[in-house]
Each structure stands twice: as C-alpha cells, then as structure tokens.
C-alpha cells in the first residue's frame, strides 16, 4: 500500500466512524497497524473492546488458502512487498500472537456463527 493508500484508509475510517457518531462500531484489523491506538487516543471516554480471533497456524493457512481460491482475480492491496495474503500471514504469524486484546477467542474448531456467538457472550460480560 502506498502512503496515499494508507492516508485514504485513515480518511475512510474517520468518515465511517463519524457517520456512526463514533458509537457501536466494529473495525476489523490485523492489529499490526496503529489504528486502535489512534482511536484510543482521540476517543478517551469511549469504551473500546479489542477481540482477537486466534487459530492454530495450520488452520489459519487452510483458511487463507480457501480465501485465495475464492478471491481469484481479486486485487491484493496490502503492500507491494507481499505478493498475496498467504505470504503476508506466513511472514507475520508470530507478530499476530503478540497483539494485545481484551478478549481472545480460539476459532480453530469454530464456524463463523459460533465465533459470533462466543464474541457476543464475552462482550456482554464486559458491557452488561
């Protein structure tokens, strides 16, 4: 991603959250960028909950491989330094493990509806 692409992503994020009046927003990110710390700094009075969806390395690679097949012809926009998502995950798997989170869910044996239900249950423990 170019510096302009990153700036565009920040502007799009800001506009989207502003439309939501900065409430009840869900952001998906690898956690390897600075967006979460930015939001915590500019919104100190808001409750921000970070949920980390984890999976065993083998499972993660299988999921990425399925996604690559499904998204054939799609454009990979993360960075010119990585040819595809599989290469990106392989390079940063260890770094993902160090990303802090309020809630961690091992999704290795879960289907998407189960992950959603588990996340809701854990969030309700924090925000009744």
Q: What is the pLDDT of residues 11-42, one digit of tens each?
A: 777 777 777 776 676 766 777 777 777 777 77
In degrees and rounded to multiples of 5, residue 9 shows phi and psi of -65, -40
Other beta carbons within 10 angstroms of residue 4's beta carbon come to 8
Query: Is residue 40 within 8 Å of 56, Cβ to Cβ?
Result: no
**Over 70: is that where the pLDDT of 78 sits?**
no
How many residues are given for the chain?
Answer: 128
Distances (CA, A) of 19 to 6, 12, 23, 50, 101: 20, 11, 9, 21, 26
> Mean pLDDT across the stretch 66-92?
65
Highest mean pLDDT among 11-25, 33-47, 72-86, 97-111: 97-111
Other beta carbons within 10 angstroms of residue 24's beta carbon come to 6
The reported pTM is 0.68
Question: Residue 100 is encoded by which pair of tokens?
Answer: 């802090």
Residue 104: its pLDDT value, please? 92
């Amino acid at each position: 991603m170019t510096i302009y692409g990153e700036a565009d992503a920040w502007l799009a994020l800001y506009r989207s959250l502003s439309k939501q009046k900065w409430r009840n927003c869900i952001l998906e990110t690898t956690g390897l960028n600075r967006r979460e710390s930015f939001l915590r700094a500019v919104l100190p009075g808001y409750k921000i909950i970070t949920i980390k969806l984890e999976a065993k390395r083998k499972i993660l690679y299988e999921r990425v491989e399925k996604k690559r097949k499904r998204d054939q012809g799609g454009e990979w926009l993360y960075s010119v330094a990585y040819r595809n998502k599989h290469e990106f995950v392989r390079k940063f798997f260890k770094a993902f493990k160090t990303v802090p989170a309020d809630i961690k869910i091992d999704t290795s044996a879960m289907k998407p509806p189960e992950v959603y239900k588990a996340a809701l249950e854990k969030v309700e423990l924090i925000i009744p």
